[in-house]
Amino acid sequence: MKLFLDTANIGEIREAWGWGVIDGVTTNPSLVSKEGRKFEDVLREVCSIVDGPVSAEVVSTDHEGMVKEGRALARINRRIVVKVPMTAEGLRATKTLSSETIRTNVTLVFSANQALLAAKAGATFVSPFIGRLDDVGNEGMQIIEDIVASYSHYSYRTEVLVASVRHPVHLVQAAKLGAHIATLPFPVLKSMIRHPLTDIGLERFLKDWERVPK
Ligand code: E4P
């Protein structure tokens, strides 16, 4: 499973990229606004660090506006994937952009039906938001199972990008279901690394090593 980092923070991206486990980055307007910087400047810097897809979201809601913004975003760097909301206009924009070989990520997906439509429109990635479904009392992971199972019968090229990940258990569940990608906040990536038994084991090895004659 590929792992993307869900952030627009350069420090986090630089650090995680250095660990060699990140395949791409996803941003959204809320993440970008937290940084207090111009969107284009952030994107250029992210693309200079990450050798992989970098999702950048349009904020227009009509087909024309989304396509115009999408083309401009794609011109910034070849790594940029245009993130488009899951609406009728968003599907149209996905179709138009993908016919121009501009990669797209259909976002704000909350059902397997929406994911099927995104695939039909030619999306490169589809982003089901599992954490937000959990928040309203649904089983978010169930739609990942439904989407992966539905796609498996057909030859869609769309990859399932599990989004709105809240904790490491989500990652294990997504991987077991065969999702192509998960995008995760930096704190979740850090908590995947740590295990108390690793820390205790390392401490003991280093202590024992001190008794080895040098
Ligand atoms: C990623 O592409 C999404 O924008 C993100 O995962 C949403 O996460 P949130 O529900 O924690 O805001």
Give the pLDDT confidence score for residue 88 in this predicted structure: 98
Pocket test residue of 5, 12, 28, 30 for ligand 1, highest count of atoms within 8 A of CB? 28
Distance (Å) of CA 89 to CA 42, 55, 60, 166: 27, 19, 10, 29
Residues 6+ apart with CB under 8 A from 79: 47, 50, 51, 52, 53, 54
Q: Hey, whose CA ends up nearest to atom 9 of ligand 1?
A: 164
H helices of 100-195, in order, are: 112-120, 130-135, 140-151, 168-176, 186-193
Q: What average pLDDT score do residues 7-24 get?
A: 98
Q: What average pLDDT score do residues 163-191 get?
A: 97
Nearest alpha carbon to residue 182 among 56, 40, 51, 192: 192
- Rounded distance from Cα 63 to ligand 1 centre (Å): 23
Tens-digit pLDDT profile for residues 19-77? 999 999 999 999 999 999 999 999 999 999 999 999 999 999 999 999 999 999 999 99
Nearest alpha carbon to residue 97 among 127, 129, 50, 65: 65
Give the pLDDT confidence score for residue 9 in this predicted structure: 98
Give the pLDDT confidence score for residue 181 in this predicted structure: 98
Give the pLDDT confidence score for residue 117 in this predicted structure: 98
CATH number at residue 35: 3.20.20.70
With beta carbons less than 8 A apart as the criterion, state whether 19 and 46 touch.
no
- Euclidean distance between CA atoms 126 and 59, whole angstroms: 17
* Sign of the alpha-carbon torsion through 37, 43, 49, 53: positive
Tens-digit pLDDT profile for residues 181-199? 999 999 999 999 999 999 9
- Across the chain, mean pLDDT equals 98
Domain that holds residue 70: 2-210
Give the pLDDT confidence score for residue 180 in this predicted structure: 98
Q: What average pLDDT score do residues 110-137 get?
A: 98
Is the shortest distance between the CB of 92 and ligand 1 below 6 Å? no
Give the pLDDT confidence score for residue 139 in this predicted structure: 96
Q: Among residues of the chain, what percentage have pLDDT more than 70? A: 100
- Rounded distance from Cα 129 to ligand 1 centre (Å): 7
Is the shortest distance between the CB of 16 and ligand 1 below 6 Å? no
Give the pLDDT confidence score for residue 89 in this predicted structure: 98
Question: Total domain count for the chain?
Answer: 1
With beta carbons less than 8 A apart as the criterion, state whether 49 and 10 touch.
yes
Q: Hey, whose CA ends up nearest to atom 8 of ligand 1?
A: 164
- Rounded distance from Cα 193 to ligand 1 centre (Å): 21
Give the pLDDT confidence score for residue 110 in this predicted structure: 98
Q: Quote the tokens at residue 68.
A: 């115009």
